[in-house]
C-alpha cells in the first residue's frame, strides 16, 4: 500500500462529493492519482462527469482537465469502487431536532463500503461526529466480515477542515489530523494524505482525532457565544461593542478577537459541539459551556428582530405591515450555503409579527423557509431600498456596496458592523 501511494498507482475512492469530498477528490487527482467519487445525487454525478463544478471553491477550469484526462470520475454505484485501494467517507452528519446526531448517512456509507472492502484497503471516516464513532461503527462492521484493523484492512479517522469561501486555506495547505485504529493504520492514512496535504498531524487514536475537530468548533461556538453576550451587555450599558472589540484586539498577547452577529450558521459550528454534548450525556456529564453558548447563540435572531422593532418604533411604525428587506441570507459571507443560517429565523420571526419581508442575496436565488414556503431573491434596486421601512443586514457579502445602501435606505439594522462610520441617508441601528 505504501508503495502504491508513493508511486501514485493507488486508486482513490471518495464517498460524498459535496463541499468536503469534491475538493479532496480534486486534490488527489491533481497529485496524479486516479480518483473515483461516489454520490447518491445523479444530477451532481452527471455534472461532475461533464467537467462542470457545482462547488464555488472548485472552479470548473480546475475540474475540467482532471475529468478530461480520466483522473477524476464520479458514479452512483458503490460497485465501481471495488478497484479502489482507499476510501474516504465525506458525508453529512446533521443533528435531529432533538439535537442528537443523525448517523444515518455515515451508517449507510459504511454499509456500502463494506460491500466492496477487500484485503489491504484503507477506510477513512472524515465526517464530523461524536468521539468513538470510528471504533463503534466502522470497526465492528468490517470486523463482522472478517477484517481486522491493522492486519488485513486499515481504518482511521481524519476530520475534514474545509472552510467554504476561504481564499487562503484549502485542502493542500490546511494541516490534516489523522488517527488510526493501530499504528499501522495511522501510518498508511498519513501516507495517503501526505501525498495531497503539506502537513499531516498524527494522533494516537481515532477518538483523539474525532475530539480534535469537536474542540476546534466548540472553541469557536463558545467564544462566539461569549462575544454575543458581550454585545447584549454593551447594549444595556450604552457602549459600542465593536469599539470595545477593536480596542481589545490591540493587545498583542492573551486575546483573540471574535465578533458578534445574528446567530450561528453553517454545517459545523452550530452543530458539532452538540455531538460532544450528546456523547457526554450518555456518560452522565453535562457539557455546560456548550449548552450555555448554544442558548445565547440560538437566541440572537430574536434579539435582531427586537432591534428591528425598536428601530421601527422610533419611526412611529410597527412591524405589522412594514416593508422589510433582508440583505444576505447565506450563513456567512460570499458562500451559497444557507444551512442553519440565522437569516432564515430572522425572516420567519419578522413574518410571524406581520412584516412584509423580502430578501436579496447574490448567491442564493431562492430559499425554502419554514412550512415549505419558497422565497425568491429580489433585485437590489434603489427603489427597493428607498421603499423599505427597514433594511436588515444579516450577511455582509463583499459584493454589497455599503455606501450605496446607506445612501438609499431610511433605517438599517446592521448586525455585521458593515456600515461602520459611513454617513448617508440611513439611520443605523447597530447590533
For residue range 52-68, list pLDDT tens digits in order.
999 989 999 999 999 99
CB burial of residue 279 (10 Å; 0-12, 13-18, 19+): buried
pLDDT tens for residues 134-179? 999 999 999 999 999 999 999 999 999 999 889 999 999 999 999 9
Asked if residue 303 has pLDDT above 80, the reply is yes
Distance CA 287, CA 269 (A): 16
Query: Could you tell me if 181 and 304 lie in one domain?
Result: no
Which is higher by pLDDT, 100 or 224? Answer: 224
Q: How confident is the model at residue 263 (pLDDT cuts 50, 70, 90)?
A: very high
Query: Could you tell me if 129 and 264 lie in one domain?
Result: no
Q: Is the residue at 134 inside a domain?
A: yes
Of 117, 185, 268, 390, the catalytic one is 268
Q: Is the residue at 242 inside a domain?
A: yes
Torsion of CA 33, 38, 42, 43, to 10 degrees: -50
Q: How many residues does the chain have?
A: 431
CA dist 53 → 15, 36, 192, 209, 367 (Å): 17, 16, 24, 30, 21
Query: Could you tell me if 103 and 132 lie in one domain?
Result: yes
User: What are the backbone angles phi and psi of residue 125, rounded to the nearest 5°?
Assistant: -95, 125
Query: Could you tell me if 97 and 186 lie in one domain?
Result: yes
Helix (H) or strand (E) holding 30: helix 21-30
Average pLDDT for 261-280 = 90
pLDDT tens for residues 351-373? 999 999 999 999 999 999 877 78
- Specify the number of domains making up the chain: 3
Closest alpha carbon to 120 in 185, 177, 179, 176:
185
Distance CA 341, CA 395 (A): 9
Closest alpha carbon to 328 in 343, 339, 314:
343
pLDDT at 268: 83
pLDDT at 373: 83
273: CATH: 1.10.1040.10
Query: Could you tell me if 46 and 112 lie in one domain?
Result: yes
Question: Residue 124's beta-bridge partner residues?
Answer: 88, 156
pLDDT at 96: 83
Query: Could you tell me if 308 and 275 lie in one domain?
Result: no
CA dist 276 → 72, 132, 167, 211, 227 (Å): 35, 10, 29, 8, 22
pLDDT tens for residues 381-425? 999 999 999 999 999 999 999 999 999 999 999 999 999 878 888
Kindly state the cell numbers that stand for 105.
448517512
Average pLDDT for 5-30 = 97
Q: Is the residue at 25 inside a domain?
A: yes
Among residues of the chain, what percentage have pLDDT more than 70?
100
Query: Could you tell me if 173 and 218 lie in one domain?
Result: no
Mean pLDDT of the chain: 95
Query: Could you tell me if 287 and 310 lie in one domain?
Result: no
Q: Which of 297, 318, 338 is the last residue of a domain?
A: 297
SS3 category, 335: coil
Asked if residue 228 has pLDDT above 90, the reply is yes
Q: Which of 176, 204, 232 is the last residue of a domain?
A: 204
Q: Is the residue at 321 inside a domain?
A: yes
Query: Could you tell me if 72 and 184 lie in one domain?
Result: yes
User: What are the backbone angles phi and psi of residue 139, rounded to the nearest 5°?
Assistant: -60, -50
Query: Could you tell me if 172 and 237 lie in one domain?
Result: no
Q: Is the residue at 209 inside a domain?
A: no
pLDDT at 33: 98
Beta strands in 100-197 (DSSP E): 122-125, 154-157, 176-180
Q: How confident is the model at residue 101 (pLDDT cuts 50, 70, 90)?
A: confident
CB burial of residue 195 (10 Å; 0-12, 13-18, 19+): middle
DSSP track, 355-371: -EEEEE-TT-SEEE-GG
368: CATH: 3.40.50.720
Query: Could you tell me if 286 and 383 lie in one domain?
Result: no
Kindly state the cell numbers that stand for 198.
503539506
Helices 60-68 and 42-49, packing angle to 10 deg: 80
Parent domain of 419: 299-430
pLDDT at 142: 98
Q: Which of 237, 266, 297 is the last residue of a domain?
A: 297
Measured between its terminal Cα atoms, the distance across the chain in Å is: 55
pLDDT at 79: 97
Q: What is the DSSP letter of 153?
A: B
Asked if residue 206 has pLDDT above 80, the reply is yes
Q: Is the residue at 142 inside a domain?
A: yes
Active site residue 268: yes
- pTM (predicted TM-score): 0.92
Query: Could you tell me if 285 and 303 lie in one domain?
Result: no
Q: Is the residue at 344 inside a domain?
A: yes
Amino acid at each position: 500500500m505504501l508503495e502504491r501511494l508513493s508511486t501514485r498507482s493507488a486508486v482513490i475512492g471518495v464517498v460524498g462529493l459535496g463541499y468536503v469530498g469534491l475538493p479532496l477528490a480534486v486534490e488527489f487527482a491533481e497529485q496524479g492519482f486516479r480518483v473515483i467519487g461516489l454520490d447518491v445525487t445523479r444530477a451532481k454525478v452527471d455534472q461532475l462527469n461533464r467537467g462542470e463544478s457545482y462547488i464555488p471553491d472548485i472552479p470548473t477550469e480546475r475540474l475540467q482537465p482532471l475529468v478530461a484526462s480520466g483522473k477524476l470520475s464520479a458514479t452512483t454505484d458503490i460497485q465501481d469502487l471495488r478497484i479502489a485501494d482507499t476510501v474516504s467517507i465525506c458525508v453529512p452528519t446533521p443533528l435531529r431536532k432533538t439535537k442528537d446526531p443523525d448517523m444515518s448517512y455515515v451508517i449507510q456509507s459504511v454499509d456500502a463500503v463494506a460491500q466492496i472492502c477487500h484485503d489491504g484497503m484503507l477506510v477513512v471516516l472524515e465526517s464530523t461526529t461524536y468521539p468513538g464513532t470510528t471504533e463503534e461503527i466502522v470497526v465492528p462492521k468490517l470486523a463482522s466480515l472478517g477484517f481486522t484493523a491493522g492486519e488485513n484492512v486499515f481504518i482511521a479517522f481524519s476530520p475534514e477542515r474545509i472552510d467554504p469561501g476561504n481564499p487562503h486555506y484549502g485542502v493542500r495547505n490546511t494541516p490534516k489530523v489523522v488517527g488510526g485504529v493501530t499504528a499501522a493504520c495511522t501510518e498508511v492514512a498519513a501516507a495517503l494524505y501526505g501525498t495531497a496535504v503539506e502537513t499531516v498531524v498524527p494522533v494516537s487514536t481515532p477518538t483523539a482525532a474525532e475530539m480534535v475537530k469537536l474542540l476546534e468548533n466548540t472553541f469557536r461556538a463558545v467564544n462566539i457565544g461569549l462575544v454575543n453576550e458581550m454585545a447584549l451587555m454593551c447594549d444595556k450599558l450604552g457602549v459600542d461593542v465593536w469599539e470595545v472589540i477593536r480596542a481589545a484586539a490591540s493587545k498583542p498577547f492573551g486575546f483573540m478577537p471574535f465578533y458578534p452577529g445574528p446567530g450561528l450558521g453553517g454545517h459545523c459550528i452550530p452543530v458539532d459541539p452538540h455531538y460532544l454534548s450528546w456523547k457526554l450525556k450518555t456518560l452522565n456529564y453535562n457539557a455546560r459551556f456548550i449548552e450555555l453558548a448554544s442558548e445565547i447563540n440560538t437566541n440572537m435572531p430574536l434579539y435582531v428582530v427586537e432591534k428591528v422593532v425598536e428601530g421601527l418604533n422610533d419611526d412611529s411604525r410597527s412591524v405589522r405591515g412594514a416593508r422589510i428587506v433582508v440583505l444576505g441570507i447565506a450563513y456567512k459571507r460570499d458562500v451559497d450555503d444557507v444551512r442553519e443560517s440565522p437569516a432564515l429565523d430572522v425572516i420567519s420571526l419578522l413574518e410571524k409579527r406581520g412584516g412584509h419581508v423580502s430578501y436579496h442575496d447574490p448567491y442564493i436565488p431562492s430559499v425554502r423557509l419554514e412550512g415549505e414556503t419558497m422565497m425568491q431573491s429580489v433585485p437590489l434596486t434603489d427603489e427597493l431600498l428607498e421603499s423599505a421601512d427597514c433594511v436588515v443586514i444579516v450577511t455582509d457579502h463583499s459584493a454589497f456596496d455599503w455606501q450605496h445602501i446607506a445612501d438609499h435606505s431610511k433605517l438599517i439594522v446592521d448586525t455585521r458592523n458593515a456600515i461602520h462610520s459611513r454617513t448617508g441617508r440611513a439611520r443605523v441601528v447597530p447590533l
